[in-house]
């Protein structure tokens, strides 16, 4: 008499799926990403998890200069300003932290937390109060620092903002922990974010950071360009067409006299580009 066999479950457990997905040892990051895509296809991990893992791997190759807020777009407070002078600016920008400077932007005295000002608002002689004693020390990092190293330092030192300096010691911009996390988990929007203002950032003369989602009309208006919007709505669509494949970080394409370098892309789309206009020599 044959013994009854216990039927195998139609679906494997998540542990078995993971074991199967990693049965072949990855030799490179591309191999690992391919395995993770298989895992996502087999529903071992979801698409959001895949994007986060992909983003986490990319930050190990990215530098601060690629995501920093440029010097020209920094919101700073002058140490000499009275409370009545700086409060309107704080209310308008709605940031939680501000670099405080002396005579110019290269002289960063420290970081002011907006919440530290709240107890002073009701003081009778608030305008005569010196804000410098309440400043927090400013963390300074070079443009070339890797994002994964910066994130670790942010966590260890419990900092949320760092001043970025160039090779000559001048202030090049600033970077926050939110900027780094957005490279891993995607855009973190709050009630104060204004989407159109973040499409294009000027780093220097003829050197820009461009979001791939920048509408073609906005790009044309900003740079007096003549890209057609008949086939695509965004600059990212034009770049993908030029490459003919989903590009990886540091790949470069030239379109209509503009050079685009991929700064950030995941397994599905391009996110960030660095652009310069090619000038005739």
Tokens for 13, please give them.
Answer: 């457990």
Q: What percent of the chain has pLDDT over 70?
A: 82
Cα dihedral 51, 53, 57, 63, rounded to 10, equals 60
Nearest to 225 by CA among 260, 196, 194, 270: 260
DSSP state of 221: H
The whole-number pLDDT of residue 280 equals 59
- Considering the entire predicted model, what is its pTM? 0.59
Average confidence (pLDDT) over 146-164: 92
Class of domain 194-277: alpha beta
Nearest to 79 by CA among 115, 103, 113, 114: 103
The whole-number pLDDT of residue 267 equals 65
Nearest to 143 by CA among 168, 171, 166, 177: 166
Separation in Å, CA 13 to CA 8, 38, 184: 11, 16, 28
Domain ranges within the chain, ordered by starting residue: 69-177, 194-277
CB atoms within 10 A of CB 226: 9
CATH architecture of 69-177: Roll (3.10)
The whole-number pLDDT of residue 109 equals 94
Tell me the per-residue pLDDT of 163-216, one tens digit each, with 9 for 90 and over.
999 988 899 999 999 888 888 877 655 433 434 456 888 877 888 888 888 999
């Amino acid at each position: 008499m044959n013994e009854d066999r216990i039927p195998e479950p139609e679906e494997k457990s998540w542990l078995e799926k993971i074991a199967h997905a990693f049965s072949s040892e990855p030799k490179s990051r591309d191999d690992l990403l391919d395995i993770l895509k298989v895992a996502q296809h087999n529903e071992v991990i979801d698409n959001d998890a895949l994007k986060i893992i992909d983003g986490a791997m990319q930050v190990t190759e990215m530098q601060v200069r690629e995501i920093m807020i440029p010097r020209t777009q920094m919101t700073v407070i002058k140490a000499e300003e009275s409370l009545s002078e700086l409060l309107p600016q704080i209310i308008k920008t709605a940031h939680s932290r501000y670099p405080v400077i002396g005579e110019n932007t290269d002289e960063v005295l420290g970081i002011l937390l907006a919440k530290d000002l709240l107890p002073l608002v009701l003081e009778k002689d608030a305008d005569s109060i010196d804000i410098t004693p309440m400043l927090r020390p400013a963390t300074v990092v070079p443009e070339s620092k890797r994002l994964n190293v910066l994130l670790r330092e942010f966590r260890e030192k419990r900092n949320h903002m760092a001043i970025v300096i160039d090779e000559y010691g001048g202030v090049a911009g600033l970077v926050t922990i939110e900027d780094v996390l957005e490279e891993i988990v995607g855009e973190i929007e709050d009630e104060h974010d204004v989407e159109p203002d973040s499409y294009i950032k000027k780093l220097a003369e003829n050197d820009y950071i461009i979001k791939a989602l920048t509408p073609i009309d906005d790009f044309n208006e900003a740079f007096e360009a003549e890209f057609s919007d008949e086939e695509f709505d965004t600059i990212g669509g034009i770049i993908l067409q030029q490459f003919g494949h989903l590009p990886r970080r540091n790949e470069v394409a030239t379109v209509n006299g503009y050079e685009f370098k991929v700064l950030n892309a995941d397994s599905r789309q391009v996110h960030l580009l660095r652009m310069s206009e090619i000038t005739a020599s």
